[in-house]
Structures are given as structure tokens and as C-alpha cells.
Amino acid sequence: MSGGQNMKKTSRQAIKTLVPEEVYTDRQEFIDYFYNYAISAVPRRAMSSVLLGHRRMGKTEIFKRVVNRLFYGQDHKDPAAVVPVWYSFRDEVTDRWDFSVRYAENFLRWYAGFRFRDPDIVSASSVRRQELPDFIKSNIDMTPGLTGALNIFQWLLERDVTIPEETALMLPRLVSDRDDSTIVMFLDEFQNTHLHNFRVVGYMQEAVESPTCSHFVTGSAMTILSKEILGRGALFGRFDSEPIKPLTQYWGAVLSLRAARHYRAELPEIMAPVLSDRCGGNPFYITAVIRQAAKKNEAIDSEKSLNSLLAVDLSSGFIWAELNDQVTRWIQRINEYGITKWVLYLSALGENDRISPEDIRKQLAEKEGTNVKIETVRDVLVMLSRGDLLEYMELGGWFRKTDDPILSDFLKVWGRIEVEGHSRPRVVTDIVRKYTRQERRIRDQKGYLAEVWLSQILWNGQGKTFPGRYFHSKADVTLPDRFYDMIHRLRLGASEKSEADIYASARDETWICESKWWETKKVGVNVVNDLIRLSEKVTEFEKKEYEAGNPVPVRCWLFAHNGVTGPAEKMLRKHDIFWSDRSDLDALIRETALTRLICRKVG
């Protein structure tokens, strides 16, 4: 039984998770990875690690679930068990003594709480701070490391150490090193160490290097975390990195359906992949739209209704509240020149992804009558990039918009309200009308559903071999060991025939997939010819895109719901193109342990 299943049955949590189990989707791979990696610290095979990704990707929830699994999934009386410790750095600048005492007290509470398997000790609801040392001495077998930790805690309370923050940060390692035990620190919002007016990061170098006390960290400001804290200085090279990305289209659709059931929103199953696509696979955005639909009692039964709900949430709902808080907090920290709001807003308005500091400087002069130096604009853009509000290509010295389409649209709405001063009702009305009039992004929803399945089969089937009959191949088919990139709807030219439904690149080959959910007719030679020409365009594209010599072979895979015509099948065999019909797709779904998004047969 997995740790997640066990927790669901017993509802035992040392640290409270926020996402209901009925909704939580597709992060088990990360939970298993960090749990197993924490256990590997016992034979000293683990090093400190960072879970790196943009805001609201579920990083904190992953760490909480790992901590809970370690807390309840081990024999807490076993001296060799891994002691999990959770700590979240606050975004308020605190006094160095206050921070040091809190950090040390938190460690002792988690240590004692684990040894007793009592989360009340962790939450300070059963043992007061003044009583904590005596409680530990009376109830836990004292070790040299734990005895030393209690001495240091008392000295911190009495302010009788030279550098309190260094003393506190080294405390977990002191215990694990002296007792040859294993402790894993789970540190959330690690980027906030950058806000303290006393040194924290520099003193952590020795603490995170201990093989007995690995530190697993994450945070919501990816640029600060990766480039400024872990990418240079004292902690450079001390952390292994595990990246987290948006949900795949398949898992985004699964989350959409689970959230709709939980919040009692009406979401036809055929619309689930469309919602995931529109939200860029971001779990928070998907859930926010579902909650908005439930709140307004409106069905998400078309792209028009989806766009309307997204517009409302973007301008006045859950997404607005979250992103407005992120933007406001960051601007308050960096508004040295008094033009930060305008620079951020103008950077979002540009038609191109690449941001021009010179254009922003000119628009500032027009709108505000403010003449600022180009260097000042660049300085502001750099500071905005540190808050993940845009991207700074440091080596090239240029800027571009964030790859988060919802954040980009939010900044335009936010700017009209907060920067230009337009009334909120007027802006909300405008954005709802604009979104509602948008052209449909996905015209063939059933065909797109098949694309979602095909892409997830590629992900789940990496390195696996499948019976050739599912691909109408005489030989069995082995998928690449790893796909490095997978893109839906990659446009390689101006016409629709130049668009690959799925583009998946691996080391030794590239796969392109075409989906035709035609229920009343078979796919003919015209579609096959288009696919062949598309493969040639992919080859040309890769010649320009990559500089590693000759392009790798292109493997084509056609999904034809109702099969192919005789002439088309001959052409597919001649060009060694894989193809699958609906029954083949169903078999591959079972082979790759997926579940149908639509339980009943569509069409």
C-alpha cells in the first residue's frame, strides 16, 4: 500500500495538506522520488536537493505528503529511521535571535514529535516552549547529539552564542553527525532567506553538505532560488535539482474532472482536455476555473463558456487574488525608482514575446511625462525577472515575456485597473467580451482528446516495447528511452497542413503524430501524403533548430478512429508509418496503465 493510500484511510497528517485527496492528481512520481531519496540517506547515498518549478505547480503539497509519509510510514522507534523536519521561511524580515530560536525550537519539536509519533508536539498544542527541554529529557532516550542540541537551545534562549543564525542552522547536523543518525530537512519558501538582513545562506553551506542531514528545499520564486541562492555563492554545487513542470494534457484533464466532481461543477468530459490546454496545465488555474464555475453555477460546456469564466476569474476571482498578491508583494520590495508598475505593465502590452527596454522608455515618456535612462528601465526589468514576472536572458542581456499565458493576460488586466486607473467593472466587462469573442482554439474536440491520449501513451511508454499489431507493424515497437520535449500543435508553416498535432523529440529520433477522429469514414491517401510532407518539414525544422549535425530520423504515427482505406494502408506500409485505430488506442491505453478520460465510448 502506498503512503498516499495509507494517509487517505487514516487521515493522519503531521503537516496539513491543502489539496483534497479526491482532487490531488499526478504528482505521485515526485512523492515517491523524494520519499525514496530520503530513505536512501540512511546508507548515505543522498545529497541535498531542490524541487524547482514555477509558482503554483504543487511543490509544497509534494513536500508535505513526503513528510507525512516519512512521519507515519516508518517505525518511529527505530534509531535508523529517517527523522523528517518541516520548516517554511517567512517572507517578513525577522530579528536574528527570533529566527534562530524559532528554527531550533521547530527542529526539536519535529524530532520529538516523530519519536513519539505525536503531531501535537510539532504544532505546539501539547507542550509549551518552556517545557519542551524537560519533556524531551523525561520521555526520550538521550543521545550525545540530542543532549548537545538541548544545551544549544537553552543558550539561544539566553542569547549566549556568538552567531545565533549559524548555531541554529547547524543544529540538525550536529545531532545527526554526533549520533550517526539520519535527519532530512524539508525547507519551503527557501527564497525568503534572501530577505533577511542577516546572513542565512552563507551559514548553510556546511549544514547542507552533511551526508547524515540532507536538506530538501523548494520555493515560489524560481529565478531567485535557482540563479541567486543555489546558482552562485556559498551553496553553488551543493544541491541536486529535480525540475517540476506543468501537468501533461492528459493529467490536466484528469485533474479537471476530479476537481469538477469535488466542487460540484458541470464539466462535460470532452471539455476536460480543452480546459487543461487553456490553463497551460497549471493545477491552480485549472482548479480556479472549476471553482468559479461552481460558484456561478455555470457549465463549462464549450470554449465560449470556458473563456467567459476564465475572464471573470482573471479579472476578479481566484486567479486575480493570487496573482495580484504575487505582483503587489514583489513591487513593494523593489519599487526603488517609482516606475516599477508602469514598466511591468508596458512590458506585458508589447506585441512580441521579446521585450524592448527602449520601447518602454518611450512609452513612459508619453504616458507619464517621465524621462528615464535606458539603464534604469533595464534595472527595473532585471528586478521584475527575479520575481518570475518576466524572463531575463542573462548571458544575452535581453528580456522576454513569461511563458505563462494566464499570467501574461493577467498583467494586461491588472495594468488597466492598478496602473491606468480604469474602473474594475468596466475592465471586467471588456475582458469578458473579448474572451467570449475569441476564435475557438480546438475545433475538433474528439480529435484533440485522441491527441491527449497519444501524447500520454508516449510519456508512459518511454523505453517500453509494445506488440506491433497495435501500430500495424510486423515488428514489435519500442519507444525511445526518454522524450526530452513534447509539444501539442506545433506550427511549422502558415497553413494548417503544416501543423503537427504532436511533436515529441528524443535523442535518436523524433515522433510526430496526427489524430483523425472520423467516425463515419476512413482516412485516405490525402491525409497520408500530408503527413509525409509534414515529416519532411520537421526534418528541415530540426536542421535549423539544432546544431548537432544531421537531423535524427522522423517517426510518424497516425491515429485513424475508423481505420484507413486500402490505398492509404499501402502507402503507410511503403513509408514505414505506424497507424492505430480506436481498438488499438484502447489497447495501448490499457498497456500504459492509463484510464479513459471518457468512461463510455465516445461516438
Secondary structure of 441-500 in HEC code, one letter for each residue: CCCCHHHHHHHHHHHHHHHHCCCCEECHHHHCCCCCEECCCCEEEEEEEEECCCCHHHEE
- State yes or no: pLDDT of 6 exceeds 90: no
Q: What are phi and psi of 466, to 5 degrees?
A: -120, 150
| Average pLDDT value for residue range 411-428 | 93
pLDDT band for 599, please (50, 70, 90 cuts): very low
Q: Tens digits of per-residue pLDDT, 79-130?
A: 999 999 999 998 877 789 999 999 999 999 999 999 999 999 998 788 999 9
Q: Where are the domains of the chain?
A: 3-243, 249-301, 320-402, 445-591
User: Rounded CA gap, 510 and 534, in Å?
Assistant: 12
Question: For residue 328, what are the CA distances in angstroms to 322, 324, 414?
Answer: 10, 6, 10
Percentage of the chain lying above the pLDDT 70 cut: 94
What confidence score (pLDDT) does residue 496 get?
A: 67
Q: Tens digits of per-residue pLDDT, 45-79?
A: 999 999 999 888 999 999 999 999 999 999 999 99
What confidence score (pLDDT) does residue 454 get?
A: 95
What confidence score (pLDDT) does residue 439 get?
A: 65
Nearest residue to 513 via CA among 525, 503, 498, 523: 503
Q: What are phi and psi of 7, to 5 degrees?
A: -65, -35
Contact 199, 167 (CB under 8 A): no
- State yes or no: pLDDT of 570 exceeds 50: yes
- State yes or no: pLDDT of 547 exceeds 70: no
Can 3-243 and 320-402 be said to share one CATH topology?
Answer: no
Question: For residue 144, what are the CA distances in angstroms to 2, 65, 412, 471?
Answer: 35, 31, 59, 64
Percentage of the chain lying above the pLDDT 90 cut: 72
Secondary structure of 136-181 in HEC code, one letter for each residue: HHHHCCCCHHHHHHHHHHHHHHCCCCCCHHHHHHHHHHHHHHHHCC
- State yes or no: pLDDT of 549 exceeds 70: no
Contact 481, 463 (CB under 8 A): yes
pLDDT band for 31, please (50, 70, 90 cuts): very high
- State yes or no: pLDDT of 217 exceeds 90: yes
Contact 209, 238 (CB under 8 A): yes
Q: Tens digits of per-residue pLDDT, 251-298?
A: 999 999 999 999 999 999 889 999 999 999 999 999 999 999 999 999
- Look at 597 and 568; give whichever has higher pLDDT: 568
- Cell numbers given for 109: 519539536
| 3-state SS, residue 558 | strand
DSSP strands (E only) in 2-112: 49-52, 82-88
Q: Tens digits of per-residue pLDDT, 426-474?
A: 998 998 888 887 766 666 778 888 899 999 999 999 999 999 999 999 9
Cβ within 8 Å of residue 3, ≥6 positions away: 31, 35, 65, 68, 69, 72, 73
Contact 347, 399 (CB under 8 A): yes
Of the candidate CATH numbers 1.10.10.10, 3.10.180.10, 3.40.50.300, 3.40.50.1970, the domain formed by 320-402 belongs to: 1.10.10.10
- State yes or no: pLDDT of 7 exceeds 50: no
What confidence score (pLDDT) does residue 8 get?
A: 42
- State yes or no: pLDDT of 195 exceeds 80: no
What confidence score (pLDDT) does residue 1 get?
A: 34
- CATH number, span 3-243: 3.40.50.300
pLDDT band for 9, please (50, 70, 90 cuts): very low
- Element counts in the chain: helices (H) and strands (E): 24, 15
- State yes or no: pLDDT of 493 exceeds 90: no
pLDDT band for 494, please (50, 70, 90 cuts): low
Is residue 37 within a helix (H) or strand (E), and if so which, with residue range? Answer: helix 28-39
What confidence score (pLDDT) does residue 597 get?
A: 55
Nearest residue to 54 via CA among 226, 290, 279, 239: 226
Label residue 444 exposed, middle or buried (CB < 10 Å: 0-12, 13-18, 19+): middle
Max avg pLDDT among 2-11, 104-113, 185-194? 104-113
Residues present in the chain in total: 603
Of the candidate CATH numbers 3.30.360.10, 3.40.1350.10, 3.30.565.10, 1.10.287.180, the domain formed by 445-591 belongs to: 3.40.1350.10
- State yes or no: pLDDT of 213 exceeds 50: yes
Which string of DSSP letters, residue by residue, matches 181-197? -EEEEEEESGGGGGG-S
Q: Tens digits of per-residue pLDDT, 235-251?
A: 988 999 999 999 999 99
User: Rounded CA gap, 187 and 85, in Å?
Assistant: 8
